[in-house]
Amino acid sequence: MFQGKIIQIPEPPIARLMFADTRFAVLWLLIRLYVGWEWLQAGWGKLGSAAWVGDNAGAGVQKFLEGALQKTAGAHPDVSGWYAGFINAVALPNTVFISYLVTYGEIAVGIGLILGIFTGIAAFFGTFMNLNYLFAGTVSVNPFLLLLQLFLILAWRTAGWFGLDRYVLPMLGTPWQPGKIFAKE
């Protein structure tokens, strides 16, 4: 088909400027701090709740999921049938595990974004949680956070420039280019 030719399509200048130029790092810092704070607050609130990580762990998740299942009725339900199936088959039988996972996941995403460490990965997992909240019929701030995190994922190379990524990523590298620690000399 391509007969061995490698074709590379370069980024448009505006995308290169926004997502790969350190002049935009201040913007990504502000977005990172806002989104990270939102996640840290959400997780911290759950950490202090017995319904999430205490004696009654799983109760908060169960209540949330049961509320989501009530949104599956009608011509245009807030929760799709396939997601209701996931809730019934996977989530409800594992509410205690999911409760801890959500609580510590929200805290980890918040800390990662605030410190600017593994920013793209933290934003990816934040996006994953926001998608699940949206699939469960909870709008709130989720679409806005999801949008901001998608931009942080695109800007992963510079989003942590004013953070720990500036120092950690050159040391670790990427799967396609080993960093100083893994470079073979």
**What are the residue ranges of helices labelled H in the chain?**
13-20, 25-47, 59-69, 81-86, 95-115, 119-135, 142-154, 156-159, 165-172
Whether 3 is covered by a domain: the verdict is no
Whether 112 is covered by a domain: the verdict is yes
Whether 89 is covered by a domain: the verdict is yes
Whether 183 is covered by a domain: the verdict is no
* Residue 129 tokens, joined: 């949680």
- Residues facing residue 178 across a β-bridge: 173
- Domain that includes residue 87, residue range: 26-165
Per-residue pLDDT, averaged over 110-131, amounts to 98
Helix axes 59-69, 95-115, angle to 10 degrees: 100
Number of domains in the chain: 1
The full DSSP string for 133-165 is HHHTT--TTHHHHHHHHHHHHHTHHHHTTTSTH
Residue 173 DSSP SS3: strand
Whether 184 is covered by a domain: the verdict is no
Whether 7 is covered by a domain: the verdict is no
User: Per-residue pLDDT tens for 58-91?
Assistant: 999 999 999 999 999 988 999 999 999 999 999 9
User: Per-residue pLDDT tens for 129-169?
Assistant: 999 999 999 999 999 999 999 999 999 999 999 999 999 99
Mean residue pLDDT of the chain comes to 94
User: Per-residue pLDDT tens for 12-60?
Assistant: 999 999 999 999 999 999 999 999 999 999 999 999 999 999 999 999 9
Whether 21 is covered by a domain: the verdict is no
Cβ atoms of 68 and 136 closer than 8 Å:
yes
Cβ atoms of 20 and 104 closer than 8 Å:
no
Whether 1 is covered by a domain: the verdict is no
